[in-house]
Amino acid sequence: MDAFLLVEPYITGIISILGIFFIEAFIVASFKLYIKQFLSQRTYRIVITLISGLIMTLFSIYFMMMSQKEDYYLIFGNLRMIIILIPIIFLNRNISLVSVILCSVFRLFYYGMTLVSLGYIAIFTSFFLLVVVIQLIVKQNQLLTFIYSLISASIFWIWIYLTNFDGYHSYYFFAVFSDYLNFVILSIIAYVSASYLYHLNNLLFQTMEESLTDELTKLRNLKDFNAKMNEGFFKAREKKEAFSLIIFDIDYFKAINDTYGHLAGDIVLKNLAKTIQEIDELKKVDVFRVGGEEFTIILSKKNGTETVGIAEKLRKKVELTNFYYENQLIHVTVSVGVTSLVKGLRSEITLNGFMELADEALYHSKHNGRNKVFSSDVLTGEFK
């Protein structure tokens, strides 16, 4: 029983820190999967930083309260340092910055402007700045940041025990050593656990990314197109927003394969993908390869006139680009079809009907000489 009482705080502390990083990994994964697509990159970073910082703050406050209990002081006091250290290494230093600021404000309100409060605020702030400086010096290397931060953190234990500003730390070597060793052991457990979760998270999203990416061109694939088209179309139709679809394919692609070989055809497809992504309006837009030589582009909040302009720019860019295979020049052109929902106008057209209009515009381009752009009016079905 005595042995259990001795190790119980360690068990509680370890379970707590593992729980924190599991929750954090779950939230980051959920946001990437379900929320990120609706936000700009900048907004997403701000939101995930604030939410993660708030989570770390809540746990830090919990550790602060638990450290007031007898036999829990060392464990939970050290865990408060660890949840500053680990997010800096694996996630974003701003998460720890948010946590340090909010915890400092909470401590001042809860305990008052006391010497002890100011002392701990100074320690946690200094530790945060120390880890950030180390991270910059070692150029973001995770392991080196961790090792040097552990070593450098010893100065805080020496200072705490020398000053005894909180009345709990009478200085003698064994006390300093055992307290610091406790921090090191818990930090190693936290680092290994966070590293494992970080690796699993990256592996998960790498696998997901690969499942939605065309292997040859590295563009998005048909699966991703269907998901985003379904979501974007119904959202735009419901909100009466502008929404456009471009469908295009390579003219006489079979002839290219027959004349130069299938390897030449593959090189043309890869170079075409790079060429499309050089167009300014398409640099931050997903382009999809949905068939052998067929591609699509979804343009949210773009009206028909704007989309036709982009499609024409795409057509000209491809026409003026030189494609080579084994020093042989291959002339490549594309035929393009466009259709758009009109902003402010309620449409009852179905998703399949909408896509068929774009497809019909593409075939109209092909039947009218190829290397052309035609749009199909969503109301009348007429070609322009």
Q: List, for residues 310-332, the tens digit of each pLDDT value.
A: 999 999 999 999 999 888 999 99
Distance CA 186, CA 190 (A): 6
- Which of 193, 120, 196, 186 has the alpha carbon at shortest distance from 150? 186
Distance CA 127, CA 156 (A): 8
Q: How confident is the model at residue 1 (pLDDT cuts 50, 70, 90)?
A: very low
pLDDT for residue 348: 77
**Known catalytic membership, residue 215:** no
- Over its C-alpha atoms, the chain yields an Rg (Å, rounded) of 29
Q: Are 165 and 123 in contact (CB under 8 A)?
A: no
- Which of 119, 112, 110 has the alpha carbon at shortest distance from 167? 119
Distance CA 20, CA 233 (A): 38
- 17-26, 289-298, 346-355, 359-368: the lowest-pLDDT one: 17-26
Catalytic residue selected from 70, 231, 293, 294:
293
Whether pLDDT at 127 is above 50: yes
Whether pLDDT at 10 is above 70: no
Q: Which DSSP symbol is given to 82?
A: H
pLDDT for residue 45: 84
pTM value is 0.63
The torsion of the CA quartet 226, 228, 231, 232, rounded to 10 degrees, works out to: -120
- 3-17, 139-153, 183-197: the lowest-pLDDT one: 3-17
- Percent pLDDT > 90 in the chain is 29
pLDDT for residue 250: 93
Region 146-161: what's the mean pLDDT? 88
Q: How confident is the model at residue 101 (pLDDT cuts 50, 70, 90)?
A: very high
